[in-house]
Chains A and B, each alone.
Chain A
Amino acid sequence: MDSASAVQWRLLSPAPLVFHAWQAEELVLVFHPLSGDTHLLDVLSAEVLRLLQSSPLQEETLRRHLLEWAGFSPEEFPLARLQTILQQLEHLDLIEQALS
C-alpha cells in the first residue's frame, strides 16, 4: 500500500446524513441536517458517504469496499477515480481527511 492510499477520510460532521433514492434512477439525494444542504450525488459518491458514516476509512479500504459493492474490476475503478470522488465530496464540505 503506498502512502497516498493510506490517507484516511471521515465525515466532516457527526450528524447522520439522510439518503434517499428512487428505483431505476442513478441519482441519490443526500441531506445534511446541520448545514441544511441537499446534495444530488451519483450512486458511487453516495456509497462513499454511506461507508464513511460508519467510521473513518483509508482510501484503499474504501476502494476495496466499492469494488465489491459495484462489482468493478480493479482496472475499472482505479484509485485515481476514487480520489476524484473524495475531492469532490471534500469540496462540498461533506468529508475531510482524518488525522492519522
Chain B
Amino acid sequence: MIVSECSPVVLRRQLCGQGVCIRTGPLVCRIQSPLPEIAQALAAYYADFPILPESRFADIHLQVRPGRGLRRWIRPQVFCQCNGEIPFNPHPRCLAPAMLEWGLNWAVANLAHWYLMIHAAVLEKGGRALILSALAEAGKSTLCAALALRGWRLFSDEIALIRLDDCQLVPLARPICLKGASIELIRQQDSGWLVGPTLPDPVRGGIALVRPKPDSVAHMQDPAPVGWVVFPQFVPGSAAQFSPLPKALAFLRLADNSFNYSLLGTTGFQTLAGLLDRAAGCYKFRYSNLQEAVRWLERLMERPPESSPAGSLTQFDPTIEPT
C-alpha cells in the first residue's frame, strides 16, 4: 500500500498510535504525530511512498509533537524527537511539515554511517548521477527542484548517500525544501502541482516543499554511478560559467561538506577518492539565471562518458553556448 491509498482517517489514526512506517530509499522511518498537519503533509508530499507494516523494524523513529504548556495554545509551537533526541529548538506550528523534513534529514545524517554522506543535492539522468554540492544559499535546492521538475530522477536535495563498497549513489527521493525567492521561481515552472503551499517563515523568507515525482519514488531503491560533480554558486548578475576543478580540490570541498568523512577514517578517504575516480569531471559553476543554468547542466549530462575518462580532466568545453 502507498500513502495515497490510505484514507486520511486511517493515516491520522496510525500517526497518533504506533506510527506510519514509510520507506525512503534504503531507510525505514517510523513517523508519529498527533498533529493533523503531519497527516496532511504525508498525504501531500509522500503520496507515492510505500507504507510498511507497523511491526516492521524502523531505522528512524521520528515524532513531531505540539509544544508543551502554554505553547500548545499561545503562539503554538512544534518540536521533533528523533531516535530519542530533540535536535532542534521548537518552531512555530505552521512549520510542522518543514520540521518533519528537518528531523528526517538530521536523523539520516546522524545514523546512516554505513554510507559516506555529503551535503549535496543528487539527481540522475541517463543512468548517471549529478552531484550538486554547496554551502547554504548557493542555490543547490533551487537547481535541484528545477531539474526534478524537468524529469530528472530525484535522489535528494540535501544528502548524497555514497555506498562504501562501490561508490554508487543511493537515492532517498524525499521532498525538496525550497526557501525564500526560489519558491515562486520554481512554482512558475510547476505544471504538475508538485510545489506545496508556502509556509510563513520570516527568517528564511518562507518555506515550500516539493513533492518528488512518482518515477523518482518508484525507483528509490535503484542506485546510480556518479557522472559529474558540480559546485554551484548563485551570483546575481553573473552569466553561467563552468570552471574545471581538479579532482584533488573537489575532494577537499566534498570532504568539507561531508557529514561523516572524518568519522569513517581511511574508509571515508578511499570512498571519496573512489567516487572521484569514477566521476567524468568536476566543475565550479556560477550562475544567476535559473533557465540558463538548467540548460547548461542538461548539456553537461548529455556528454557521453567515453569522452571524459575517469582520472583525467573532461573534454567538455564550457565556452560553447548550449543549444
Contacts and interface: CB of A to CB of B under 8 A. Distances in A.
Contacts of B249: 27, 40
A28 B247 CA distance: 10
Interface residues of B, number: 18
B262 A22 contact: no
B266 A22 contact: no
Contact of A38 (B252, B276, B277, B312): B252
B269 A38 contact: yes
A27 B246 contact: yes
B311 interface: yes
A38 B313 CA distance: 22
Interface centre among B251, B255, B270, B276 (most CB of A within 10 A): B251
Given A29-B273, A38-B255, A22 B265 contact: no
A68 interface: no
- The range of chain A's interface size is 10 to 19
Contacts of B266: 18, 31, 33
A18 B273 CA distance: 11
Q: Looking at A21, A22, A23, A31, which has the most chain B CB atoms within 10 Å of its CB?
A: A22
B269 A24 contact: no
Interface in B248-307: 248-249, 251-252, 255, 262, 265-266, 269-270, 273, 276-277
Nearest to B252: A40
B248 A40 contact: yes
Contacts of B270: 18, 20
Interface string A1-25: 0000000000000000010111111
Contact of B269 (A20, A21, A25, A27): A20
A35 to B, nearest CB: 10
Interface of A: 18, 20-25, 27-29, 31, 33, 36, 38, 40
Given A25-B247, A27-B248, 18 more contacts: A18-B266, A18-B269, A20-B251, A22-B246, A22-B247, A24-B313, A27-B246, A29-B251, A29-B252, A29-B269, A29-B273, A31-B269, A33-B265, A36-B262, A38-B251, A40-B248, A40-B249, A40-B252
Of all A-B residue pairs in the complex, the 8 with the closest CB atoms, nearest first, are A27-B248, A31-B269, A20-B273, A23-B311, A22-B247, A25-B246, A23-B312, A33-B266
